[in-house]
């Protein structure tokens, strides 16, 4: 049986011991080294070349986000962040995910009985995902062994325009061998024209990871008449199109790429399900909102659905589209988990089935498992205008998109950097 080497980074010696003991419960993992701060972590990665890293957020000398950025630039390695549950921790965790961390897990509480065991199981599951995402990206986990025992980086101001140039890491990568349908170009609106940029050669996925910058996104050029019509529709409850996006592991970066590439005045609402626990989805929405030309909010019960607004499902709640005499609205429920998740992508997709009066565009992106595949298939068979699965070349984990492709649900299989362009070209023309 193959073994994988883990670097454990935490400023608390006690927590380093706890995390190391949890990891060693699975014989597939060995502790390559431990580090007490970000400086030690960067040095340990260069020396020990671990397969995966667990990284604390708050540390002296060099914090977790700063260390993460250096590691992604120098020696890209899958990183699982360890986070508290405070608002600041949630905000920093989302930032870390966009700068390159694969996933996160909350730190165990020493005061709650059984919490350490629960966090340990979740950590091992995420470590398995991390090592296989880094090696195969197939979204297939190794068999779970039977247990022996039961940055400080400057934030953009909210809605600042033009978009900040300190753009978080994107997993999108224009690849030489990606087969896609040609798309016309679109330019984002900005407050001031940008100087002409040289055309760069397509980057490899590893280059994109290490650069900390996303490649340029091909977006759709719309006519002046189309832009005027879009501006009138944006922000209103009257729309002819709706977009629904589902994602999981690797999703925050993928969402950043797609949402922040949609043009201002986009004449459709966007519904998003990202597998994520409560509190963190609010920080995700706030982070996306600070970079996007669209308004991005965490969805609330009864919230009206408007064009040009992105509604992110709150962690721990299923999100559905509803309709009454006043128009479309958000319905949140506490129904049981679907496919092991709440919110579930399938639940969101299935809620769109009865609304054939609007053009429905559904997208499934990087993530482990198969959530969303059945719902996407039902939408495709129910007359959806567009169903898209992210291609394997740009997926962090090719699990959910693979399930959608294999069941015949995807009309288009596109690399991440082409998804926004496909949506814009379809909706704006």
Q: Are 355 and 321 in contact (CB under 8 A)?
A: yes
Q: Are 158 and 290 in contact (CB under 8 A)?
A: yes
Task: Provide the 3-class DSSP secondary structure of residue 195.
Answer: coil
DSSP state of 352: T
**Pairing mode of beta strands 309-312, 327-333:** unpaired
Strand partners, 338: 341
d(CA 417, CA 218): 7
Distance of alpha carbon 41 from its chain centroid, rounded? 25
Catalytic position from the list 103, 371, 391, 425 = 371
Catalytic position from the list 83, 234, 248, 292 = 248
Name, in order, each residue with C-beta under 8 angstroms of 113's C-beta and a sequence gap of 6 or more: none
Strand partners, 53: 7, 79
Catalytic position from the list 241, 256, 275, 361 = 275
Whether residue 371 lies in the annotated active site: yes
d(CA 177, CA 418): 14
Q: Are 39 and 46 in contact (CB under 8 A)?
A: no
Whether residue 275 lies in the annotated active site: yes
**Assigned token pair, 350:** 């299935």
Whether residue 117 lies in the annotated active site: no
Task: Provide the 3-class DSSP secondary structure of residue 180.
Answer: coil
Query: How many residues does the structure list for the chain?
Result: 429
Residues acting as catalytic residues: 248, 275, 371
């Amino acid at each position: 049986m193959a073994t994988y080497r883990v670097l454990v980074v935490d400023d608390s010696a006690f927590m380093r011991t706890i995390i190391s003991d949890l990891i060693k419960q699975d014989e597939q993992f060995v502790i390559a080294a431990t580090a007490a701060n970000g400086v030690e972590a960067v040095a340990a990665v260069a020396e020990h070349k671990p397969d995966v890293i667990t990284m604390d957020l708050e540390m002296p000398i060099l914090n977790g986000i700063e260390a993460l950025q250096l590691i992604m630039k120098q020696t890209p390695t899958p990183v699982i962040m360890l986070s508290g549950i405070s608002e600041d921790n949630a905000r920093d965790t989302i930032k870390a995910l966009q700068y390159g961390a694969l996933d996160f897990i909350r730190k165990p509480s020493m005061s709650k009985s059984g919490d350490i065991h629960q966090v340990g199981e979740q950590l091992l599951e995420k470590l398995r995902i991390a090592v296989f995402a880094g090696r195969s990206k197939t979204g297939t986990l190794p068999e779970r062994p039977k247990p022996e025992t039961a940055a400080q980086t400057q934030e953009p101001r909210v809605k600042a325009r033009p978009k900040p140039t300190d753009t978080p890491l994107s997993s999108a990568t224009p690849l030489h061998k990606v087969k896609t349908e040609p798309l016309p170009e679109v330019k984002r609106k900005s407050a001031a024209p940008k100087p002409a940029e040289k055309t760069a050669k397509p980057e490899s996925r590893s280059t994109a990871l290490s650069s900390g910058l996303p490649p340029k996104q091909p977006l759709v050029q719309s006519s002046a008449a189309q832009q005027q019509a879009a501006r009138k529709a944006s922000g209103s409850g009257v729309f002819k199109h709706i977009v629904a996006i589902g994602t999981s592991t690797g999703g925050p970066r993928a969402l950043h790429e797609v949402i922040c590439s949609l043009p201002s005045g986009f004449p459709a609402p966007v519904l998003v399900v990202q597998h994520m626990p409560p509190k963190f989805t609010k920080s995700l929405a706030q982070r996306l909102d600070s970079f996007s030309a669209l308004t991005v909010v965490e969805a609330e019960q009864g919230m009206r659905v408007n064009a040009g607004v992105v509604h992110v499902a709150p962690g721990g709640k299923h999100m559905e589209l509803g309709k009454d005499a006043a128009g479309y609205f958000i319905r949140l429920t506490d129904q049981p988990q679907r496919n092991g998740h709440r919110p579930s992508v399938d639940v969101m997709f299935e809620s769109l089935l009865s609304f054939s009066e609007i053009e429905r565009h559904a997208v499934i992106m990087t993530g482990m498992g198969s959530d969303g595949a059945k719902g996407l298939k039902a939408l495709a068979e129910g007359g959806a205008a567009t169903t898209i699965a992210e291609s394997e070349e740009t997926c962090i984990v090719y699990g959910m998109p693979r399930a959608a492709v294999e069941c015949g649900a995807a009309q288009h299989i596109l690399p991440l950097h082409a998804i926004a362009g496909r949506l814009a070209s379809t909706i704006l023309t």
